[in-house]
Structure 1
Amino acid sequence: MMASRPLALINARLVDPASAYDGPGALLVRDGVIRDRIEGADTGAISQDAEVIDARGAMLCPGLIDLRVKTGEPGAEPKETLKSAALAAAAGGVTSIIVQPDTDPAVDDPSVVDFILRRARDIGLVHVYPAGAATKGLKGERMAEIGLMRDAGCVYVTDADRPIVNSKVFRRLLAYARGFGVLVAHRPADPWLSAGAAASEGELAGRMGLPSVPAIAEKIMLERDLALVELTGGRLLVDQITTACALESLERGKARGLDVTATTSINHLSFNEVDIGDYRTFCKVDPPLRSEDDRQAVIEALASGLIDIVVSAHAPAPAEDKRLPYDEAAPGAVGLQTLLPALLALHHEGRMELLDLMAKVTSRPAELLGLKAGRLAKGAPADLVLCDLNAPLVVDPAALKSKSKNTPFDGRRLQGVVRATLVEGRQVYSAD
């Protein structure tokens, strides 16, 4: 069989957090993998028979890996299908998505894991990896078939937005998952303090008359989780840390050598509680938007490395679920297409170096899940994004590929336009 024609991406600014390289260069791609990487402006060694894409100085980096994506398939396809989520991911430079298990039916059985993987293969756009349910039906009572789901292809287990309240169940889960080498993700939120909350507790929520949750609810549950990690030796992924007080607990846990990784969402890096404004339901997310002091603390924790990974927390909701009184509206925001330009705002503002920032959505999640992607190296999958770092962008919900258009970035001016996305060397998105 004749080998496919190679693809050369030249005149690029290579940004590869895995090797700490940020400079001019080119890549040669063939048969779905990176065959050669040339550093410097001289691209004379590139194969003469290659198809050429001239990056014209744009950033060429590994495709983004988004650890927390909700879809509506199976069971709620009007919100989002796997295909519409994949289209949004490709348009946002995201080449791998981990879909959450809170579907209908829940992803608590190997057969549902297999269904998602087969659907993703049929769609043929980006890589789709299922997260399995930690407990049957996401009810927090009995463990799901963790070992069988791992063998079927799930990459970690979680009950998504639902905290596992029963400490005995969570202890068993951590211990059992450790035996299979499975990562457990958990939302740190005390369920009693959080019940019915639509905003963060404080002067603003009180003035607006919104049911609220104190920041301490995050710290309380995280302290319990860290204690059980210490007891069991399990692996924990803290699912969206958003408050300064919880960051103190995370820092102590990591200092004790616990196997703990933490994420935060792009929403909590970009917005604070004031953005609710005149009851803007598109800014209602879960966890709720926090104070500006919390937002700044989260940014500093990201820059210092205390927070390891940034997620889009993509959670589609149709208009009829959002255009309701604020405390009745569904929480959540779509984020696959806005993740990269919103994240780049921290670079443009001088808050983080570009290499460190991009590591949070490329090499770091790849290392955590044991994926081969997330790096620009010979033999690595050619999962790539070409992005014009300085190109201006005004977010238009109508232009989003997601079926739902619930974005808090509506009308926001950002910098960073995705020019092309490649998955295993195939161009799955082009701005042209």
Structure 2
Amino acid sequence: MQGRAAKFVCLVGVALVGMSIFAPPAYSQIQQGETLSGPDSHETGLGPHGHLLGDWGGERSRLLERGVNFDLQYISDSLWNIKSVQKERLASWNRIRGTVDIDFGALVHQQGLYFHATALWQGGGILGNYLGTLTSPSGMSSGNTFRLDSWWMEKRWLNERLTARVGQFAGQDFYGTQHDGASFIFEPMGYALGNLFTNYESYDPPSTPAMEVRLVPINHLYVKSMVEAEDRDPYAHNPTGLVPQFRGVPVSISEIGFTPGKKASSVRAFDNVESRKGYSGLYQFGASYNPGKFTTPTSTTPRSGNYLLYWMASQALWRVDPQSGKGLDATFAYDWSPAAVNRNNRELTAGLRFNEPIPLHIHNTVSLGFVQNNLSSQFLQPGAPSWKAERAVECNVLLDVAPMLLLQPVVQYYANVGGGPQRAVVFGFRTKIEF
């Protein structure tokens, strides 16, 4: 099976390259757009002075003109549980990520053909595990690793109305992701909905082999679908990320999106300062299905199949100038999966973001987020007290201190930690440096 899957992926890659040779040239050069997810995505355009190591004597700019973009960044979440039943502890999660994006239209005149690859080192303490929260305080923390995260070849046709992608990438980087993710710290709002893993939708960084097709039939509507290899223990099976693993069953994920105020072909998974200008919005409905075997608390016989549905909305509510990004945004998301199979089967998120509220010459935002997790009563042990809905609130301030430095202090409050009666208060900050 692995051999057939590998041959199929190779054939698809060759087909994409072949079709690019015969594709008509685009009328204008289209930028590739953001390829990083969640906290790794770029809030602002870096510009000529946006890197700590500068422009490499002009070499970085010359490479960019040729369609080759290198990015190296360091991100850290330093969080303290200043009030909880657990002893106070500082948990620092650190990540260094290197990325290369190639636009073959600029490099070798193969219009609409792109390549992306990213690798990282990450490690540190996971505060959510220590506190026992369902909502992870950090949208970055997962496994200590040094690995190739994702890579793909991508081909776009018809002015980006049709896109195909093949390689190794994570479903949670593009499905069930928070469009305003860079504006929050805790996971369900800073990256992707926190319970998508119940259906084994792959996540960043242990991505799995995948293929995706995206179609824009009309200006403000897109449909996309991907198939990825299920791997229930990706860190163990592929510790380096260099050897694609075709384990388990194929997991399918689909989404339909409506983009009022903006062409659907220009919308990417995560927004930035430029894309949030004007009264644009993004409304999404998606579903994932895993045909594999799942255990249930009420039967010793595994059940075939599991699925999850999600609804998401992001909308600009008010702008000082209709053409600018200064003003107020709102975001909302809800997902549901069968209570008989999934312990954490419902999650709701909602948030507000104020763009440029502080009269400073630097970019800044103030964001307020809310997350509620519900646990299925079918997973309760006999005689155990009923679970409560865990609720979490976050307020953070994002400060673009310098073109290469971002600082984001945050306060988080958790009620009914892990579905129990405990409470917790977390304080800390995110630091991001572009090299």
State the TM-score, normalized to the length of structure 1: 0.32
Question: Relative contact order (alpha carbons < 8 A, sep ≥ 6): 1 or 2 greater?
Answer: 1
Higher helix share: 1
Higher strand share: 2
